[in-house]
Chains A and B, each alone.
Chain A
Amino acid sequence: MMITIEMLNEIKKKTLKTMTLRLEKKNNGISSINKENVSDKKHVLICGGPGCHSSGADELKKRFEQKIDKEELTDVNVSIAGCFGLCESGPNIEIYPGGTFYSQVKIDDVDEIVEKHLCRDEVVERLLNEGAIKEENIKPVFEVDFYKKQEKIALRNCGIIDYNSIDEYIALDGYQALAKALTEMTQEEVIDIMKKSNLRGRGGAGFPTGRKWETAFKYEADKKYVICNADEGDPGAFMDRSILEGDPHSVLEAMAICGYAIGSDQGYIYVRAEYPVAVQRLKTAIKKAKEKGLLGENIFGTEFNFNIEIRLGAGAFVCGEGTALMESIEGKRGMPRPKINRTAHKGLWGKPTIINNVETLANVPPIITKGAKWLKSIGTEDSPGTKVFALGGKIKNTGLVEVPMGTTLREIIFDIGGGIPNGKKFKAVQTGGPSGGCIPEEFLDTPVDFASLGKIGSIMGSGGMIVLDDTDCMVDIARFFLDFTVDESCGKCVPCREGTKRMLEILERITKGKGTPEDLDRLESLSEAITDSSLCGLGQTASNPVKSTMKYFRHEYEAHVKEIRCPAGSCQELLQFFITDKCVGCTKCANNCPASCISGNLKERHVIDTEQCIKCGTCMEVCPVGAVIKK
């Protein structure tokens, strides 16, 4: 089938009518679309993001539909949309008009919502999201603190459209950018907009996308490839997954635009095997786009052909690295290539190849429709636009947030993220995953952009942001990341294969109380050597977690090696057993202690001789009143 722009606009007009109510969310309450065209009375929007989906979004939808049928309500539309972002309080649902925000909705709550809210317009207050109530007033979802400071480009459709509906994507200007590029612009003009916008890669390195495209465009070849890097390896980041699952067409459209710009007719999406849901939704999306003629031959009646295939990863972090990923698509061990050639010249099967990250691609269509100036009006000079972060760890509102570049860490963690739960104190935030670093409190006012994070020893990375509190041991966090790198090092180059292993051994020694002060010097020199001599980004950045924690939390390392003490109380083998004044003097601990290091008289508080203690934990187990603690 061949599609024309008129047909696209027809679908848009028709579908918008069924979506108008929901668009309140996109426009922060202002419905810019003519109300006369509204065909439904109410919309129930269920979050189908990675978190909520696994807590039963499908069952919720079914139950809603059953109950709505039973109540004989007409004109109520129930949809599952992509991730709303606030995973902490899921499963989340929103009801329009009004944007009422219900959280932690269980199957058994559905009937009540239908009876009260849908039948009688009464809000079910007990299910309202905590942030949606302020001084007795009920706030709509777009005024909840978590959302207020956000600005959505990459996630623009997530949580609004039904991810299975290509029509809904089209209704919100989907495929307009492709139409514009193909019918109104030359390849050079597309590349020019991308260059002027200065969109920088969101996969980690921040390389300017337009410049990369130009390199491939200028290189003559009989075949060129476009790859979408959906390997999302940073453990603790899930924005790419949310985009793929919530708005798959935005990625497909962008790949086609890139294909046109550089002169390629074949795209691959390399998805990690851990994301079966994303794969399924992508397959559906590709099929639908083909049926509509938005992928395939002679798109919009032009000479341009473009097809997309999905390739599955098989669980290797290093395959997120561009050249390793290409090796993997070629059916080999995913080991990075020495960087003799640019992949934009010689990439997949030796042909010019553009590889872009999912989030980078999701930014492309709006840039083509709205122009380079528009993107530059958001964010900072050096890093225009927005960035999506996955907030996790010791933070109240875990979830996905998209903010303009230049927003400070403090705003993200405290204003949006809601700060640290359980009355604990903020200690550090880890950004950039295994290639990044830990940022201490004194730098919380750093604006988040590519350069600023680099200056303080971390990186933007793909956008994982793990918050740590005062019970997290920084040496152990460094050990955790090294453990990860050792596991994932592909083994091709020696510094990374052997060096990271030695670093891990030292860190393990330290966290077990067997480290020496010299170990700290060894760690430092190893860090330098591995950074300087590794083949790919994996090894070159592997010591960042160690470097940054040693820089900002050296006192913790020193406490471990000099006093054999873990200040955060996290390293098990450094903990001391201690009997509190809760002790009733029952003598049970002393009688059971295999090292006979507990003394005390009947009915008096007992004492552990920590020098003799072998830390077996027997006393803790046998104490009837819980007087034995570890600290």
Chain B
Amino acid sequence: MKAVFFDNLAKGGNKMEFKFNWEGNKERVEQLNSFMKEKRYKKGALMMILQEAQDLFGYLPIEIQKMISKELNIPLSEIYGVATFYSQFSLIPKGENVIGVCLGTACYVKGGQDILAKIEEILGITIAETTPDRKFSIDATRCLGSCGLAPVMMINDEIYGRLTVDDVEEILNKYR
């Protein structure tokens, strides 16, 4: 994600507000528009379009939700409803590095909670938040399907397994 990605108007704790930067995201918006043109008549297109938007912008800016609403002729309330239902969609920008800490059963009984606590302690943010420098955000995920390696966390697409609390700092440092 580039610096022009969005303008941060006000930040403070978890109540970050972001204004969408149309100029800096011109290409991405165009990409989304052509994706919409291609898929709009497909049945159940809304999920696919939101997933594409989430991939493109890293979150679902309200401005983009409005745009989709207009284009597909679906009420904004319905779009907002879908966007807030699924945990993969985010209404605030995610950090450059997304940390997914597994809180599935296998990881929980092997101390996944302690791993999460350590990460929260180091970064000063909690689940579903982004650090003020937008380097990191934390997602709680329910089972990454690597239970054999429990406890597990995933940073971007990289899986780290058989973790101990002492490993956390060093792993995070790789992404700083």
Contacts and interface: CB of A to CB of B under 8 A. Distances in A.
Given A88-B148, A398-B150, A393 B88 contact: no
B147 A394 contact: no
Interface in A254-284: 273-276
Contacts of A330: 43-44
A55 B141 CA distance: 20
B38 to A, nearest CB: 14
Interface stretch (B1-9, B15-23, B26-34, B99-107): B99-107
A21 B166 CA distance: 44
Nearest to B72: A331
Contacts of B142: 233, 235, 317, 484, 488
A51 B149 contact: yes
Interface residues on B, range: 35 or more
A235 B106 contact: yes
Contacts of B105: 235-236, 392-393, 430, 433, 464, 466, 480-481
Interface in A355-391: 390
Nearest to A399: B148
Interface string A239-262: 001000000000000000000000
Interface string A16-41: 00000000000000000000000000
B147 A236 contact: yes
Contacts of B45: 331
Nearest to B86: A314
A54 B110 contact: no
Contacts of B149: 51, 54-55, 87, 90
A49 B147 CA distance: 11
A395 B47 CA distance: 39
A315 interface: yes
A168 interface: no
A466 B109 contact: yes
Interface string B46-90: 111011000000000000000000000000001001100111110
Select the residue from B51, B104, B143, B150 with max chain A CB neighbours within 10 A: B143
Nearest to B45: A331
A238 interface: yes
Interface in B143-158: 143-150, 157-158
A334 B86 contact: yes
Given A55-B161, A235-B142, A276-B157, A393 B106 contact: yes
Contacts of A50: 145-146, 148
B159 interface: yes
B56 to A, nearest CB: 15
Select the residue from A51, A312, A313 with max chain B CB neighbours within 10 A: A51
A51 B104 contact: no
A236 B112 CA distance: 12
Interface residues on A, range: 35 or more
Contact of B104 (A55, A236, A311, A477): A236
A472 interface: yes
B85 A238 contact: no
A330 B82 CA distance: 11
A87 B144 CA distance: 14
Contacts of B44: 311, 329-331
A391 B112 CA distance: 17
Interface in B97-140: 100, 102-110
Contacts of B86: 313-316, 334
A55 B51 CA distance: 28
Given A236-B105, A316-B87, A480-B105, A274 B144 contact: yes
Interface string A431-449: 0010000000000000000
B26 to A, nearest CB: 26
Interface string A311-351: 11111110000000000111111100000000000000100
Contact of A398 (B87, B144, B148): B148
Select the residue from A232, A464, A490 with max chain B CB neighbours within 10 A: A464
Interface string A479-493: 011001000101000
Nearest to B109: A393
Nearest to B157: A276
A50 B106 CA distance: 14
Nearest to B78: A332
Nearest to B74: A331
B44 to A, nearest CB: 4
B80 to A, nearest CB: 10
B157 to A, nearest CB: 7
Contact of B143 (A55, A87, A237, A316): A237
Contacts of B48: 311-312, 331
Contacts of B87: 314-316
Contacts of A349: 43
A68 interface: no
B148 A480 contact: no
A235 B109 contact: no
Contacts of B81: 333
Select the residue from B81, B145, B147 with max chain A CB neighbours within 10 A: B145
Given A51-B148, A87-B147, A274-B141, 13 more contacts: A51-B161, A54-B158, A55-B149, A235-B103, A236-B106, A238-B143, A241-B145, A316-B87, A392-B106, A392-B147, A394-B109, A480-B108, A481-B105
Q: Which 6 A-B pairs have the closest CB atoms?
A: A87-B148, A235-B104, A314-B86, A392-B106, A54-B159, A331-B46
Interface of A: 49-51, 54-55, 87-88, 90, 232-238, 241, 273-276, 311-317, 328-334, 349, 390, 392-394, 398-399, 430, 433, 464, 466, 468, 472, 477, 480-481, 484, 488, 490
18 contacts: A51-B149, A87-B147, A88-B148, A90-B149, A234-B143, A237-B143, A273-B88, A274-B100, A314-B87, A332-B82, A334-B85, A334-B86, A390-B106, A393-B109, A393-B150, A399-B148, A468-B109, A481-B105
